[in-house]
Amino acid sequence: MKIHLSQLNPVVGDLIYNKTLILSEAKKACINDAKILVTPELGLTGYPPEDLLLDSEFIDSCKNCIIEIAKKYPQLMIVVGYPRNHEGSLYNAASVLHNGEIAYTYHKNYLPNYGVFDEKRYFTEGRESTFFECEGNRVGIIICEDFWVDDPIERLIKLNVNVIICINASPFDLTKQQKRIENAKKIISKKKVLLVYLNALGGQDDLLFDGGSFIYDGMNGLIKEFPQFKQISECIDLSNKNKSVLSINEGMDILLGGLILSLHDYLKKNNISKVFLGLSGGIDSALVLYIASKAIDIKNIYAIMMPSKYTSKASLEDAEELAKSLGVHYKTRSIDGLFNTLKNSFDNDFKGMPEDIAEENFQARIRGITLMGFANKFKGMVLATSNKSELAVGYSTIYGDMVGGFCVLKDVPKTLVYKLAKYINKKETIIPNRIITREPTAELKFNQTDQDNLPSYDILDSIINLYIEQKISPKAIARKGFDSQVVKKVVELIHGNEFKRRQSAPGPKITSKAFSVDRRYPITNRYKQKI
């Protein structure tokens, strides 16, 4: 039996585009003599459609699109994911379109309602199993979360199903692909069933879908694996058990590809062609500029160096070298004049008081205003350059260096920023080595370094990982050998800067627990954890 798998990148809410995409895949499937075409979970709407699902007109339009698709290629069995209104309830559905009509429909049994998911806000849980016949095969259908629960697959196996199609919109994180394959092994190993796992692709605001679709044979293990972060359209003969398996441990290359795709899709899907960013000569802006250079045409990238009297010669040299090597537009614009004017305007108000964070933040905010001015005037968007470590502890200036429409490093810890930069330079030096090796600094005062206010990033990122991602208590973290006062400070900074993170730009989730989409913590609260 030939099955056509389409690892697609739909656009949320663009039903015409997504319908056309599915029909294009149906045409390819017919040319390849496939019997079944499989498309991702909610492939017609894109995932997640969020409150578009509360619009009755939108739901009706989905139904009309499904009817159109069914009539176009009646000879093909097309598995399409969409929101289905049935008997007054809305379901996350997968229908098999055949002979010009909806032949079979499965309603997702288990609705995730944790982390990034809130499907119970919109959908009703299905109760039944669904299967159909094709060339002597009994083919069952499940949807995403059903894969992580034993019951739906066990019920299908009891119905003598030998092929299970699982359509997904499963968001990426650094360990997700390995977990998917391990779970497939756990649930169908030594069973005479073939699992076809088809995942969505693309960036959607704070979420990133990596594809990574695969076929797992209960008797022979993993036999087919698609690349992550690439749109794939391929016809597979399920009778062919020859293995075509990728490495799932390509780490930096996969992550870099994901970050590039997230920025590319955010810009393309929002019809943004130009980007502006402040190029400081530091590691974060260097990495963001590199990612941007791979995501869009370099002629649409504007890097602006905004030096002050505190900016080092090294920063100036490295920023210019990087911009020239990548071929982007580059401009130097001093902020000293504006800084002095602004600072002097507060002379009476701040009389007798030493300079501190207020004056430091003046500089960051002037840079933010400058970037927004260029973006507004020339119809573009500012790229924020903060990373997860900085956002965790508030080591960033709200309305200053946090300004921007998208923050591609939002969930990337500082230590991982350095690893990515070193990986980029593995074959040739693109990011000047001095950017990677010199001590990190905001350069808002003379001889300033990040470690004036923070522990080393190795220690900081370890504590953030343990506390946020692994949910380990401060006391338990301290027992692991970390200085209790350092742990206390980091945890207090995390909680004290929730208000900043709430106002930060969207950016792709790449860890198991991202601040913006996975963690919901009250800004106003008086609970204090003991250390």
DSSP string, 266-315: HHHHTT---EEEE--SSHHHHHHHHHHHHHS-GGGEEEEE---TT--HHH
Which of the following is catalytic: 25, 62, 65, 108? Answer: 108
Determine the average pLDDT of the residues in 423-431. Answer: 93
Confidence grade of residue 250 (pLDDT, cut at 50, 70, 90):
low
pTM reported for the whole predicted model = 0.94
pLDDT exceeds cutoff 60 at 128:
yes
CA distance 531 to 529: 7
pLDDT digits (tens, 9 = 90+) for 449-504: 878 788 999 999 999 999 999 999 999 999 999 999 999 999 999 999 999 999 99
Query: In the prediction, which pLDDT does 516 show?
Result: 80
The answer to whether residues 275 and 302 touch, using CB atoms and an 8 Å cutoff, is yes
pLDDT at 20: 97
- Quote the tokens at residue 341: 């004017």
Name 82's bridge partners. Answer: 93
Alpha-carbon span 212 to 200, nearest angstrom: 9
pLDDT at 450: 78
Please check the confidence at residue 229 and state whether its pLDDT lies above 80: yes
pLDDT at 243 over 90: no
pLDDT at 246 (0 to 100): 62
List of domains in the chain: 2-249 (3.60.110.10), 255-518 (3.40.50.620)
177-189, pLDDT tens digit by residue? 999 999 999 999 9
Mean pLDDT of 147-165: 95
Residue 167 corresponds to which tokens in the numbers above?
């359509």
pLDDT at 442 over 90: no
Residues 6+ apart with CB under 8 A from 364: 397, 400, 401, 442, 444
What pLDDT score was predicted for residue 245?
67
Order of strands, sheet of 275-278, starting from the edge strand that comes earlier in the sequence: 329-332, 301-305, 275-278, 381-384, 406-407
In this prediction, residues 63-71 reach a mean pLDDT of 96
- Give the whole-number percent of the chain exceeding pLDDT 90: 89
**Whether residue 137 has pLDDT greater than 90:** yes
pLDDT at 249 over 70: no
Q: What is the mean pLDDT of the chain?
A: 94
Q: What is the DSSP letter of 467?
A: I
Place of tokens 């399409």: 80
Q: Find the mean pLDDT for residues 61-73.
A: 96
pLDDT for position 445? 82
480 is catalytic: no
Section 231-236 average pLDDT? 94
Q: Is residue 510 a contact partner of residue 255, using CB atoms and an 8 Å limit?
A: yes
pLDDT at residue 164 in the model: 97
- Assigned token pair, 479: 């027992």
Each residue's pLDDT tens digit, 298-331: 999 999 999 999 999 999 999 999 999 999 999 9
Identity of the residue numbered 222: L
pLDDT tier for residue 349 given thresholds of 50, 70 and 90: very high
C-beta of residue 77 within 8 angstroms of C-beta of residue 35: yes
Q: What is the pLDDT of residues 87-126, one digit of tens each?
A: 999 999 999 999 999 999 999 999 999 889 999 999 999 9
Extract the tokens encoding 189. 């190993």
41 labelled catalytic: yes
Tokens 């578009």 label which residue?
Answer: 52
Exposure string of 228-243, with b = 16+ CB inside 10 Å and e = fewer, is: bbeebebebebeeeee
Per DSSP, 124 falls in state P
Catalytic choice (62, 144, 166, 407): 144
pLDDT exceeds cutoff 70 at 205: yes
